[in-house]
Amino acid sequence: MIFLKKDRDKSVRNRHPWIFSGAIEKVGDPNTSGIDVIADCEGRFLAWGYYDADSHIPVHVMSLDEDRKPDEYWWADMLKASILRRREFFEKGKNSDTTTFRLVHGESDFLGGLTVDVYGTVVRMIISSRLAYHFKDVSVKTVQSFLAPSMIIVNTDPSFCSVEKLPSEIEYYENGVRFQPESRLNPIRIKESGLIYELIPGTGQKSGFFCDQRENRNMIERYCKDAVVMDGCSYTGGFTLHAIRGGATRVDAFDSSDDALHMLLANVQINEESGVLPKGSRDKVTVTKCDIFQQIREIPENEYDVIILDPPKLAATKSAADKAMRAYKDLNRVAMGKIRNGGIVVTCSCSGAISVQDFQMVLGWAAKDAGVNAQILQRLSQGTDHPVLVSFPESEYLKVMIMRVIK
């Protein structure tokens, strides 16, 4: 049994899924990980949880139902329920204009540390907690039996391997059987909002494609008509393709990865050849390999009508938040100083350790130091397949602000 300290059970009663070491009074066997009862200081049942002293979150709250102890069957049922909540994405089948989306969004779907994305007929799982690692095999078995994908790729999240003491690994499954590819897998094509993307399963950052920005990419098209656009941290071209479709006259894409930029150009070419983008789209795009934090200082002033900033996660944990906020401030301060008067800055943060309020405060500091006024036109977040659990504000990890800069 896991006993909490006096007056430290409020978060559990409020349905928050994490319990940190400071709230724990004692554990029956602190050297053994597993599922156990979480109790208040007087021994009264609060919830079922998963305890692991090696995790940076020692207790994950799993269920408030005292009559059903979470086990492999419970985990499988929760996973199936999460998939069924996304049935709208499956309903159009082969005629859908979107074939990539999220099936499981971690704690928001009551499966702490497990992320599952679908790319056409391929499923990718990312594990970021010891809890999800404990249930890795049942997760693979459940997805295989429920969806029958052509392949399942499972990897531990590099951002959390150290703090969770997880091995850094990637595994491949066909028909539920693990195998090791003899060479690099062949590329597959997926669609999002009618645009075509090519990717190689098992490669690239995180899941290989960030479907959380789907609605936001659609939204920026309205600001790109006849605009010169800078796509900072472009990755494989999600925002670039939408900017071109929205009518941009030029897009300069910047990223730190040669492979990502090569794929970006290929994606533009694929969409032009398929008639999704107009002829001549490839000629409108330039790419530059760089560190965006340095490159943005070197771009000319008043060059761009729209600047898009979508850097990778800068703060995986609370301890990294202060440093990340300074980096966000610096990046946005320079962008606000470089953009044309009346231009649009689309700035993103995927750091869950930084709140929406903190991110907006950082942008206020950036505007002050840049000597400009910035109007927030829209506040956006992750897509509907990445739900925010109201009792778990950390699940609202993606913050997107569309701002007009007035000099």
Q: Of 48, 53, 49, 114, which is closest to residue 79 (Cα–Cα)?
A: 114
Residue 324 has pLDDT above 90, yes or no: no
Q: How confident is the model at residue 313 (pLDDT cuts 50, 70, 90)?
A: confident
How high is the mean pLDDT of the chain?
93
CA dist 348 and 355 (Å) reads 12
**Angle at Cα 165 formed by Cα 162 and Cα 166, nearest 5°?**
95
Q: What is the pLDDT of residue 205?
A: 57
Domains in the chain, please, with CATH?
2-63 (2.30.130.10), 73-179 (3.30.750.80), 210-406 (3.40.50.150)
**Phi, psi angle pair for 74, to nearest 5°:** -60, -45
Q: What is the pLDDT of residue 303?
A: 95
Q: How does strand 59-63 pair with strand 18-19?
A: antiparallel
pLDDT digits (tens, 9 = 90+) for 232-242: 999 999 999 99
> How many other C-beta atoms lie within 10 A of the C-beta of residue 233?
20
Q: What is the pLDDT of residue 94?
A: 64
Q: How confident is the model at residue 204 (pLDDT cuts 50, 70, 90)?
A: low
Percent of the chain with pLDDT over 90: 85
- With tokens 């907006």, the residue in question is 360
Give the global pTM.
0.90
Lowest mean per-residue pLDDT among 88-92, 192-196, 366-370: 88-92
- Could you tell me what percentage of the chain is helix, strand and coil, using 3-state DSSP and rounding each to the nearest 5? 35, 25, 40
Q: How confident is the model at residue 320 (pLDDT cuts 50, 70, 90)?
A: confident
CA R_g for the chain: 22
- Quote the crossing angle between the two packed helices 72-84 and 136-147, to the nearest 10°: 40
SS3 342: coil
Q: How far is CA 29 from CA 51, 66, 150, 218, 318, in A?
A: 10, 21, 42, 51, 28
SS3 348: strand
Q: What is the pLDDT of residue 186?
A: 87
- Torsion sign over Cα 168, 70, 117, 80: positive
Q: What is the pLDDT of residue 238?
A: 93
The residue that leads in pLDDT, 353 or 195, is 195
Q: How confident is the model at residue 321 (pLDDT cuts 50, 70, 90)?
A: confident
Q: What is the pLDDT of residue 314?
A: 79
Asked if 337 and 372 count as a contact pair (C-beta separation under 8 A), the reply is yes
Kindly provide the b/e burial profile for residues 119-150, where b requires at least 16 CB atoms within 10 angstroms of the residue's own CB: bbebbbbbbbbbbbbbbeebbbbbbbeebebe
> How many other C-beta atoms lie within 10 A of the C-beta of residue 71?
12
pLDDT digits (tens, 9 = 90+) for 22-60: 999 999 888 889 999 999 999 999 999 999 999 999 999
Q: What is the pLDDT of residue 218?
A: 96
pLDDT digits (tens, 9 = 90+) for 372-402: 999 999 999 999 999 999 999 989 989 999 9
| Averaged pLDDT for residues 121-129 | 95
